[in-house]
Each structure stands twice: as structure tokens, then as C-alpha cells.
Amino acid sequence: MAEYVVEFGKDGGRVESDGRLDAPAFHRNHEPLWAALEKHLAGSSGDVVEVGSGTGQHVVYFARHTPGLVWWPSDLNQRHLKSIEAWRVHSALDNIRSPLRIDLSDPDWCPEMRDGQGPASLAAVFCANVIHIAPWHVAEGLFAGAGRYLRSDGKLFLYGPFKRDGKHTALSNAVFDTSLREGNPDWGVRDVGDVEKLARAAGLNLVETIEMPANNLTLVFSRS
């Protein structure tokens, strides 16, 4: 899977002595994201996998609001995995597990998901700001895994910038898309319609589209 546009910890941001990294985006979007997730997850029970957890700050915030859910953060970048574990320890929350090393280019995600050491049936999958900074086969792997591991009432939450009907929703997104593709032609802002096709192939349907700050969307997919 492709690395992040800016690897956390190498962008001039704060790094704590225990390895905790700080993402400026977390401070901007954690409250709007929880508002989008709350009506679906508040009061729920079961396991949730966050793919592409980055620093690990989001999973801590969400876990505090959902004591009935067990959160499994994940990433592929070793520096991020260290930060996620450090945030888990620092939070002292018993409903966050140590991070999994999930490679979304593999539809099976990781060995723990196959051998019983990880969660077997998921209440939800949460993925923020990943598929536009990775090759398309990463999005394919995300949906393939979600289709495999989500339980019958499970949901996939996908957050980030998106095009609609082939058009950008804002000039800033168009500029961002151009900069991504100039840096790596396999990256770019994805179209909701293309993402829906992946979802349907995995047995999932788009059930809600939530407008978010800064011209982003949260897409909610379900089996029903």
C-alpha cells in the first residue's frame, strides 16, 4: 500500500518521547467525524477495525465515546504503528487493542484476521483519508475485506474528498486532485460512483452520504 502524502512524524509535527505523533487534521475533524458516526455506533457492541489509523488519535477519541465497542486500529507504516500503540497505552482505555499491520492491497488484510487472533466478525470498519493517497487496488482491497469481515448488520464508513458524477465538488478539491496525480498518477480523488461499484461487488450498498467540513464526505455502506 502507498505511503501517506506526508508521513506523520516527518512533517515537523510534535513527537512525544513515547512515540506519540500529533496530526493537525485530527484537531479539525474529530468532532465532525464523531457526529457522523454517533447515530450508527453509539450504544453498539462488537468489534470495529479502523484501517489507516495514522497517528492513532481518532481511535482513542472514538473509543472513549463507545465503551461497548472494541476498537482495532491498524496501519502499514511502522512509525504510525508505534504512535498508535503509544496513544493506546496513554489513553488507558481497555476497549482499544494493539494495532494490526493491515495491508489493504491484500484482500485478506492481515494474518490475524484469518487465524482467529484478530476480530472475526465486525460491527464496523472506519477508513479516513486513505483511498485518494493510494493506488486504486487499495480501495479494491478495502471493500473486499469489508465485504468478507463485516457481520450482517455491519457498516463501512469512508471519509475523505470525493468527486460526484465525475465532477469535483469544490475548486480546492480539484487543485488537490491535480497535485496528487502530479506526484503519483495512481493517486487521486475518487468518484463516488466508482466507489459504489466496488461496494456492490463486495455485497455492500451506499446507504448514506454525509456532507462534512472542508468539502469532504462521509460515505456509509451497509449490507442492507
Which contacts of 105-113 are long-range, i.e. CB under 8 A and separated by 24 or more positions?
A: 105/1, 105/135, 105/137, 105/138, 105/141, 106/141, 107/140, 107/141, 107/144, 107/145, 107/148, 108/145, 108/148, 109/51, 109/74, 109/141, 109/145, 109/149, 110/74, 113/145, 113/149
Cell of 98: 494493539
> What is the rounded distance in angstroms from the CA atom of residue 202 to the CA atom of residue 40?
21
The length of the chain in residues reads 224
Closest by alpha carbon to 161, among 148, 170, 150, 152? Answer: 170
CA dist list (Å): 136 to 61, 76, 83, 130, 146: 29, 17, 26, 10, 16
Q: What is the tens place of the pLDDT at every residue in 65-88?
A: 999 999 999 999 999 999 999 999
Where do the domains of the chain lie, and which CATH numbers do they carry?
A: 24-222 (3.40.50.150)
Q: How confident is the model at residue 7 (pLDDT cuts 50, 70, 90)?
A: low
For helices 192-201 and 136-149, what crossing angle results, to 10°? Answer: 40
Give mean pLDDT, residues 31-47: 96
What is residue 86's predicted lDDT score, i.e. its pLDDT?
97
**Is pLDDT of 1 > 70?**
no
Position 3 scores a pLDDT of 43
Query: What's the pLDDT tens digit per position in 159-203?
Result: 999 999 999 999 999 999 999 999 999 999 999 999 999 999 999
